[in-house]
A and B are shown apart, each in its own frame.
Chain A
Amino acid sequence: MTMPTETKPTALLRVRCDVNHVPMVTSFVENGALLYGLAQAQATELTLAAEEIFTYLCQASRADHSVEISCLGGGYYVRADFRFAVKHFNMRAFNLTATVSLSDAAGMQEMGLLIASRFVDRLNFKETDGGGVQLALIKEKIYPQAVRPPDIRAAHLETYAVRAPNSEELKCFAQLIAGHYPAGTVPAMFQFPGKVADMAASGEYRAALSMGDGGRIGGGIFWQSAGAKTVECYGPYLFNQQKGSLMARELLEACIGDIARSQTVGLINRYPTADLPVEHFEPLGSWTMNAADGAPVSLTAYFRLMHEDPGASVWTHADLEGFLREEYRRLVLPREILAVTDQGETQNPFSVLTTEFDRFLGQVTLRPLCSGADIEKNLLSHIQLVTAEPGKAVFFLMDLAHPWQSGFTPFLLRHGFAPRAILPYAGDGDIVLFQLGRPSS
């Protein structure tokens, strides 16, 4: 699988960080959102989020610095990106909590990033080449929910071909999943067949189905890039196949074959079903999410490396070393574990955490952008803020390639986070996924 490059329809605007330019920015984003397929209501929400972000950037920079704004049509979503040079901004301001008075509801309402996050489906930060930052706002289209398809389409198949589906076959596949698997055991996207079709058409997702005569579908698998080096697969899902059928393995191998010679290092499955050929995977770890009805659901993730592991070095705080040694032993991953020590060296006064909201999955992910003397206070502020809105799973991702990130370890452990899994090569190095006690409710 060659992951899609940015060949999607895109419009660009380069503008000074001057509040007088707000109307230009909002007009640009709204027209882009409408042009790329959002309905007026969603386009307006994306525009409001963009307005908050731009106003916010104007406050965090000088008016002679500029920001590049792009509007991208992703098929099932529209994304507004804000790109700027780190050196031109007060990065402390990118803490979600930077200007929030947690004891004052009015103060929270003034927080641009937080407000923006509430208007969109996803908000995330990414460091870019050359010392820049990209802040992305993503708003998805609204799709009608699946209706159960005629059962004749889901058939036990003696003979079939595993191949990429067309759009109609893919929609039928999504409908069959929604009809055959209990809600909560499969990602919610399969409730929206039109969205699944658009996801595949965007090039960000791929699928393989077992197709028989007359458009009958025996099963299928769906996969997408989940970062630079990881692919996430959903399925295989089988419909009315005999126990012991080779179909699940063939579907999974079609997915693996597609990505085998790509830059993908790992394949992950976070929604395993009884049909998953687990012998192709290694159990990675478990964490908890809230189901649609609010009940906590434990998810065990499965993983496979796509390549022979060349070994690596990782940095750790002493408090995490035991977890790492045990997990690396269990996963048979050769790692040189290097201790990070505090020798009293001078630190930045302020740390920075980025916050990624995914309203669709009901999760918040914190990532450290830089370390500082206020780690504990900053972390606590973020915990307080992200748990103020109930029903979200809260994660913290620590990249073990960067020794400075280990400084967060004792404070994470002290304030309710626990390490749940190592995600090999998911960042610049391995990533440790921490989860805050349990989903807030």
Chain B
Amino acid sequence: MNLPPLDKLVPDYIKGFEAYIPSKPDAELKKLYGCSRLYRLNNNENPLGPPAAARAILDRFPPPRAAIYPSGDAYYLRNRLAERFGLQPDQFLVGNGANEVIGFVIKAFCQEGDNIVTADKTFAVYEWVAEFSGFEARRVPLKDFAFDDAGMLAAIDDRTKILFVCNPNNPTGTYWNRERLVRFLDRVEGRRIVVVDEAYCEFVEKNDFPDGIGLIREYPNLVVFRTFSKMYALAGLRIGYLAGDREVVNVIRKTCVVYSVNTLAQEAALAAIDDGEHVGRTREMVAEGKQYLTRELGRLGLPFVCGEGNFIMIRLSMSDTLAYRKLMTRGVMVRAMTGFRFPNWIRVTVSHREALSAFIEALAAIAAPGDGSGGAP
């Protein structure tokens, strides 16, 4: 039987869209690139692993429970989040990773002809979800590596429904302080949904960093995203959440996929959330790692941007996608930044010393002239 007439069946906005191709499993990558070990410094994972209480949940999970559906709306976790942040349980929605809740919000508020506003060089998923859903993503250039509040306000029109701010920004690590965020919210005047993605907020120790969830009472158009993937090291279980005003969340709930978050993820997250010691140890590791990396990058003469979060962005004098491949042959996986519109930059996760030393050693080798590859044909 012939293929269906895909040219006619597929909408134009899907035809022009790039499917995200995740990297292959480590074992396959090691085989392809001929390396015996692989340090994963590409996804901002926490090398310390999940907090102790979450590990205990994973260790003692009874296999028969895998046969039982999870709580469809993460009942206990939402209750715990409500206690922790002083809100009501129905002000939270839990998703299969924060990516899923991005989709919930866009589906809830956008219809044909609407647009969202975000930055050009930030986490790609806001733009992706909007565009493959058929909505325009208005991209405002970063200013000094930071979200440009004035530019975003100027990009708003009658069809703008949502403004996405990544705070701190992935990949630059810049952030809006409380004063700047509040000023922005004031100027939006509650007319649009403002999403503040705080995926990396637990890494920030600056006093002026705003608590987005704490602003929801005052700004009911504010929706805050958080994740258990980064600080709490549950990326493999896929769990994140949003918080907002009850009426706003009730609308978003209409688009929410229930039962999408598995039991293990819900229980591990519930156990992880109160582990302050884990947060402290991680921050300590990141601080030490940043100190080491910035010193070594200075020694190599490579420009970098080191802001908040567990990552650093480095500018190279070669194509970042070539650097990615060269580093892979030396057992180090980083994130090439062309897809973030930072060509010739790489982003590196701040990890433990052994991995960072391997990275610096490999980087020094590939940056050296005549490393034997990538030369003239």
Residues of A within 8 A of B (CB): 2-3, 5, 7, 128-131, 252-253, 256-257, 260-264, 279-286, 300, 304-311, 327, 329-334, 336, 421
Docked-complex contact B32 and A334, CB < 8 angstroms: yes
CA distance A3 to B12 in the complex (A): 10
Residues of B contacting A280 with CB < 8 Å? 319, 343-344
Residues of B contacting A257 with CB < 8 Å? 120, 341, 343
B339 near A: Cβ within 8 Å? yes
Residues of A contacting B377 with CB < 8 Å? 283-286, 300, 327, 330, 421
Interface magnitude class on chain B:
35 or more
Tell me how far the C-beta of A246 lies from the nearest C-beta in chain B, rounded to whole angstroms.
Answer: 13
Please, which residue of chain B has its CB at the minimum distance from the CB of A262? B18
Contacts A279-B317, A304-B319: A310 and B23 contacting too (C-beta < 8 A)?
Answer: yes
Identify the stretch in B2-10, B155-163, B169-177, B241-249 within 8 Å (CB) of chain A at 4 or more residues: B2-10
Give the residues from 22 to 37 in chain B that come closer than 8 angstroms, CB to CB, to chain A.
23-24, 28-29, 32-34
Q: Which of A253, A285, A308 counts the most chain B CB atoms within 10 A?
A: A308
Docked-complex contact B376 and A260, CB < 8 angstroms: no
Give the 6 A-B residue pairs with the shortest CB-CB distance, closest first: A311-B32, A2-B16, A334-B32, A305-B321, A263-B18, A257-B341
Q: A2-B131, A309-B324, A330-B373 are in contact. List 6 more A-B contacts (CB 8 A).
A: A256-B341, A262-B18, A280-B319, A305-B322, A309-B325, A332-B325
CA distance A309 to B325 in the complex (A): 7
Docked-complex contact A308 and B321, CB < 8 angstroms: yes
CA distance A307 to B4 in the complex (A): 30
Contacts A7-B12, A279-B319, A280-B319: A308 and B18 contacting too (C-beta < 8 A)?
Answer: no
Docked-complex contact B321 and A309, CB < 8 angstroms: yes
CA distance A334 to B321 in the complex (A): 13
Docked-complex contact B127 and A261, CB < 8 angstroms: yes
Please, which residue of chain A has its CB at the minimum distance from the CB of B8? A129
B24, B131, B322, B343: which contacts A332 (Cβ < 8 A)? Answer: B322
Tell me how far the C-beta of A6 lies from the nearest C-beta in chain B, rounded to whole angstroms.
Answer: 8
Tell me how far the C-beta of A398 lies from the nearest C-beta in chain B, rounded to whole angstroms.
Answer: 17
CA distance A309 to B373 in the complex (A): 16
Residues of B within 8 A of A (CB): 2-7, 12, 15-19, 21, 23-24, 28-29, 32-34, 120, 124, 127-128, 131, 317-319, 321-322, 324-326, 328-329, 335-336, 338-341, 343-344, 373-377
Docked-complex contact A283 and B376, CB < 8 angstroms: yes
CA distance A129 to B10 in the complex (A): 12
Q: Which of A131, A263, A286 counts the most chain B CB atoms within 10 A?
A: A263
Tell me how far the C-beta of A420 lies from the nearest C-beta in chain B, rounded to whole angstroms.
Answer: 8
Docked-complex contact B373 and A307, CB < 8 angstroms: no
Please, which residue of chain B has its CB at the minimum distance from the CB of A331? B374
Docked-complex contact B12 and A307, CB < 8 angstroms: no
Docked-complex contact A306 and B321, CB < 8 angstroms: yes
Q: Which of B2, B4, B329 counts the most chain A CB atoms within 10 A?
A: B2
CA distance A287 to B336 in the complex (A): 30
Tell me how far the C-beta of B325 lies from the nearest C-beta in chain A, rounded to whole angstroms.
Answer: 4
Tell me how far the C-beta of A324 lies from the nearest C-beta in chain B, rounded to whole angstroms.
Answer: 13
Docked-complex contact B120 and A332, CB < 8 angstroms: no
Please, which residue of chain A has its CB at the minimum distance from the CB of B34? A334
Residues of B contacting A304 with CB < 8 Å? 319, 321-322, 338, 343
Residues of B contacting A253 with CB < 8 Å? 341, 343
Residues of A contacting B4 with CB < 8 Å? 130
Residues of B contacting A281 with CB < 8 Å? 319
Docked-complex contact B317 and A283, CB < 8 angstroms: no
Docked-complex contact A306 and B373, CB < 8 angstroms: no
CA distance A330 to B375 in the complex (A): 6
Docked-complex contact A308 and B23, CB < 8 angstroms: yes
CA distance A264 to B340 in the complex (A): 14
A5, A129, A330: which contacts B6 (Cβ < 8 A)? Answer: A129
Docked-complex contact A283 and B29, CB < 8 angstroms: no
CA distance A310 to B18 in the complex (A): 15
Contacts A256-B338, A285-B377: A305 and B326 contacting too (C-beta < 8 A)?
Answer: no
Tell me how far the C-beta of A39 lies from the nearest C-beta in chain B, rounded to whole angstroms.
Answer: 31
Residues of A contacting B120 with CB < 8 Å? 257
Tell me how far the C-beta of A148 lies from the nearest C-beta in chain B, rounded to whole angstroms.
Answer: 33
Residues of B contacting A327 with CB < 8 Å? 377
Please, which residue of chain A has its CB at the minimum distance from the CB of B375? A330
CA distance A147 to B9 in the complex (A): 47
Residues of B contacting A131 with CB < 8 Å? 2-3
Residues of B contacting A130 with CB < 8 Å? 2-6
Contacts A304-B319, A307-B321: A282 and B374 contacting too (C-beta < 8 A)?
Answer: yes
CA distance A15 to B318 in the complex (A): 54
CA distance A129 to B6 in the complex (A): 7
Tell me how far the C-beta of A339 lies from the nearest C-beta in chain B, rounded to whole angstroms.
Answer: 18
Tell me how far the C-beta of B135 lies from the nearest C-beta in chain A, rounded to whole angstroms.
Answer: 13
Residues of B contacting A261 with CB < 8 Å? 18, 124, 127-128, 339, 341
Docked-complex contact B319 and A308, CB < 8 angstroms: no
CA distance A128 to B32 in the complex (A): 32
Please, which residue of chain A has its CB at the minimum distance from the CB of B124? A261
Residues of A contacting B344 with CB < 8 Å? 279-280
Tell me how far the C-beta of A231 lies from the nearest C-beta in chain B, rounded to whole angstroms.
Answer: 12
CA distance A10 to B375 in the complex (A): 46
B29, B328, B339, B374: which contacts A260 (Cβ < 8 A)? Answer: B339
Tell me how far the C-beta of A307 lies from the nearest C-beta in chain B, rounded to whole angstroms.
Answer: 7
Please, which residue of chain B has its CB at the minimum distance from the CB of A309? B325
CA distance A300 to B93 in the complex (A): 55
Tell me how far the C-beta of A145 lies from the nearest C-beta in chain B, rounded to whole angstroms.
Answer: 34
Please, which residue of chain A has its CB at the minimum distance from the CB of B137? A261
Tell me how far the C-beta of B132 lies from the nearest C-beta in chain A, rounded to whole angstroms.
Answer: 11
22 contacts between A and B (CB under 8 A): A2-B131, A5-B15, A130-B2, A131-B3, A257-B343, A261-B124, A262-B18, A263-B17, A279-B317, A280-B319, A282-B322, A283-B377, A300-B377, A304-B338, A307-B21, A308-B324, A309-B321, A311-B28, A311-B33, A332-B325, A334-B34, A334-B325
CA distance A421 to B33 in the complex (A): 21
Tell me how far the C-beta of A432 lies from the nearest C-beta in chain B, rounded to whole angstroms.
Answer: 13
Docked-complex contact B3 and A129, CB < 8 angstroms: yes
Docked-complex contact B376 and A307, CB < 8 angstroms: no
Tell me how far the C-beta of B100 lies from the nearest C-beta in chain A, rounded to whole angstroms.
Answer: 20
Residues of B contacting A260 with CB < 8 Å? 338-341, 343
Docked-complex contact A283 and B375, CB < 8 angstroms: yes
